[in-house]
Structure 1
């Protein structure tokens, strides 16, 4: 709390007040078990207060540290306590530790209370946890510093020169650079959080399960930001009826989930459009496309590797004219594909090729698994690689400007 307070005391004060209020409201559920009507009113008051606070700060444009993430954790906790699926935390200190736990505070992973409750009482702080956690941390650090930050330079340069001044090959290169930057930035943070948690004796859930190995958009979003996807599944989609009430209701429920997912990322039209575009794709898969993609898996892999980057362009551009211009450059053919400088993609390609290749390489699940392997026969080799990656990251941090995590804005 003191460390976070160095940047903005009011944000830490807000979170502390939020924790105390929610701790008290959860206590009121137990105190009013004999009066179900009052208990239900208190429950809905709790949910509405938390949602209202999140919407208020989203609208104001001044977003406190991690509010999008810890609000969802609070709502999940309150729902589980109200339903009786997890016991109420008796200790205010442990409840505050659960929400304040600094590795996951800013960008998750969104962690359910029952996933940490046992370790809140007795963390397993062991030497082997320190080693395993540090290995995970170093991989995440390298993803962020050595891949995401470097590729972010290409996307920033395209924004500076203007989308109308780039060729079609460069537009495609920029799109894939942003795709890789977003993945390694967010996955890097998540791995760092999991690694630090492990060093302290806590097992945080994995947030990225090799999403670019998917063969459908549905599968991709079960693997991408998995804790957010499971939150919407368990606390929105299933309570609405899930897929149990026929296809029309399933489509309606998907529409609600993806509309809310877009709004969670920001109260801007591009996030809503991004969410709705994913709804359309997943609805098509529900109606039969997914079976075809799973049958012909090569086609499915190509489909994901093309369609997901295109949807990220909706995510990346808040200005509608910029979005239209970017898609115009992506799908310009013949003479129209060359604008201002036909060989711009070669110039930027030579500069960013090592980082693009590294990004593609580390999308392969077996490489990350190998680096994190606990097998003794690989230990010396992987330790040497991780040592090099760690010091390369430190060197890059020392010589580069500050480049914050992309999901801090949400």
Structure 2
């Protein structure tokens, strides 16, 4: 669609080489889930790109980072959610319900951002520069900011091909609201032909509209911590709506989260889940923030250490990630990407 639209608008040249067009349509590094690579972004690269050892090296490192996210973080934190989501949802304690859905939020982030890193890395190996798809979305202080950081290529796609052509925010409050509803209805439907996805899209569209028209000034005045708590609460509830296709299960799980099923706050199983998964939860939470990247960038700027750090420490870390991921995959059975469903 982006090729057809971009050519129609005159924003990209007509591709007269069938092989180049076929290469774009079947570009396997990003084909299944993302990032969504628009034609005009790589139109020049299809016919004129260079594969260098530097690009290949950077691509391999990026691929390994994505592999580690998927295999070492997403899969392991996902075990907690798998156990909790298959139990009796109406009787699980409050702590168990919150632990489970937090684990799912971390799992789906590292699963999808890991895939995107692997796709970007593979593209770089073949001489392509794909757009970034995630920018630490869980540090956001508003829902609008979260969606500027999460699956950025999808948000940009809907903005440029749906929201702006409908008039964007240039035609008054009513039409802006209408455009937002249409975009978020389509965003939900894009993830799957099920009512929970449609409601999930409208749910976030509602909060984005609320922030645009009512909460914008309020969010600027309150403390960043309260902003962050507000965002995480909305996201966690949204993940419940996203995961369960059966709306009755959505209601049951939400009631368990807020102790409305006559369920206890904590039990021995909750303590077991917490203590048994505290390490992976802490590591995953820290990895969802820019703390490791900032430390990496700091060392790269130190002239005394950057060469040693890049050539020895970074490469050694990549080797460890590959070793641990391979050992894990050999022992495991089937490891699909979650976002292949959507």
TM-score range, shorter chain: over 0.9
Matching residue within 332, 342, 354 for 2:259:
332
TM-score (norm 2): 0.93
Inter-partner Cα distance in structure 2 for 1:228 and 1:194: 15
Conserved 8 A contact 1:371-1:382:
no
Q: 1:235 is matched with which residue: 148, 157, 161?
A: 161
1:398 aligns with 2:330: yes
Quote the Cα distance in structure 2 between the aligned partners of 1:314 and 1:203.
34
Residue 314 (1) aligns with residue 251 (2): no
* Shift in Å, 1:387: 1.9
| Cα distance in 1, alignment partners of residues 149 and 205 from structure 2 | 16
How far did 1:408 drift?
0.8
Mapped to 1, the partners of 2:216 and 2:110 lie a distance apart of 27
Deviation at 1:337, TM superposition (A): 3.8
Distance in structure 2 (CA, Å) of the matches to 1:213 and 1:293: 15
Residue correspondence of structure 1 range 4-403 to structure 2 within 5 A: 75-296=1-222, 297-332=224-259, 336-338=262-264, 342-368=267-293, 370=295, 376-377=306-307, 378-379=309-310, 380-403=312-335
Aligned counterparts of 2:29 and 2:5: Cα–Cα separation in 1:
24
CA contact (8 A) 2:11 2:40 kept: no
Supply the distance in 1 between the matched residues of 2:225 and 2:165 (Cα, whole angstroms). 35
Q: Deviations over 1:1-37 (max 9, x none)?
A: xxxxxxxxxxxxxxxxxxxxxxxxxxxxxxxxxxxxx
Question: Quick one: distance in 2 between partners of 1:119 and 1:205?
Answer: 13
Mapped to 2, the partners of 1:394 and 1:383 lie a distance apart of 16
Would the aligned equivalents of 1:139 and 1:191 in 2 still touch at CA under 8 Å? yes
**CA-CA distance at 1:211 after TM superposition:** 0.9
- Higher relative contact order (CA closer than 8 Å, sequence separation 6+): 2
Over the aligned positions, Cα root-mean-square deviation in angstroms equals 1.8
2:339 maps to: 407
1-structure distance, mates of 2:41, 2:67: 24
Unaligned runs of 5+ in 2: none
Q: Aligned to 2:90, what secondary structure does the other structure show?
A: helix
Query: Scaled by the length of structure 1, what TM-score is found?
Result: 0.78
